[in-house]
């Protein structure tokens, strides 16, 4: 009996020690796949996950951002994420958004600022918005990457040499732009468009003359 209890205890110890390792390996595989698919460097994805949720897939902010990369509902919808608490979907959506932002600004500090505050704020201020939260966010992530908020592009960030640049084509695979409403013609306008006046005798005569010249009969 004591031997059985001892074996169960050892088995539990092994599970406790191994499960976090397996979870980390699984997450690392997802990050690697997202990096290959979108071109966003692994180091950037990891830094954003650490800053956003500290690797908690069930994290929810007071503003409503959800999951590992803290996607807002609107952002998740834009990039085709249906289950924000699925690590694979969340990381794929967040990474695709980062690729889209990088290709928009060609700068990781600006892309990160857009990720935190939205591209509208970056466009409005033509740079990192003067929000304390956003400035701290960019500074902390750039510090993890070994760069400063003034670095532009991939080459200026330590540990990213040789990694693929973010691809706009990869981002386009998942980005779902909001549909632009198309105004439908009213019943009256459709009736006007469908109605055509019958040609006048002068129009008929002119058309007949043009046709005869075209076919060589008017010479």
- What residues are annotated to the active site? 52
The answer to whether 32 and 15 are in contact (CB under 8 A) is: no
- Report the distance separating Cα 45 and Cα 49, nearest Å: 6
Burial class from Cβ neighbours inside 10 Å (0-12, 13-18, 19+) for residue 185 reads exposed
Residues 6+ apart with CB under 8 A from 40: 34, 95, 98, 99, 102, 166
- Report the distance separating Cα 174 and Cα 172, nearest Å: 5
């Amino acid at each position: 009996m004591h031997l059985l209890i001892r074996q169960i205890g050892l088995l539990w110890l092994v599970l406790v020690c191994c499960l976090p390792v397996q979870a980390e390996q699984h997450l690392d595989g997802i990050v690697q796949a997202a990096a290959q698919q979108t071109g966003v460097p692994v180091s950037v994805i990891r830094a954003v996950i650490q800053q956003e949720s500290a690797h908690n897939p069930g994290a929810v902010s007071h503003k409503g951002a959800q999951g590992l990369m803290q996607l807002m509902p609107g952002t998740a919808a834009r990039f085709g994420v249906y289950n924000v608490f699925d690590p694979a979907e969340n990381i794929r959506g967040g990474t695709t958004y980062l690729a889209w932002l990088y290709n928009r600004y060609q700068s990781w500090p600006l892309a990160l600022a857009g990720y935190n505050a939205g591209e509208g704020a970056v466009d409005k201020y033509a740079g990192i918005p003067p929000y304390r939260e956003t400035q701290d966010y960019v500074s902390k992530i750039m510090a993890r990457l070994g760069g400063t908020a003034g670095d532009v592009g991939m080459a200026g960030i330590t540990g990213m040499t040789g990694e693929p640049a973010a691809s706009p084509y990869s981002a386009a695979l998942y980005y779902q732009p909001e549909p632009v409403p198309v105004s439908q013609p009213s019943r009256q306008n459709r009736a006007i468009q469908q109605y055509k006046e019958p040609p006048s005798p002068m129009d008929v005569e002119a058309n007949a003359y043009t046709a005869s010249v075209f076919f060589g009969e008017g010479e």
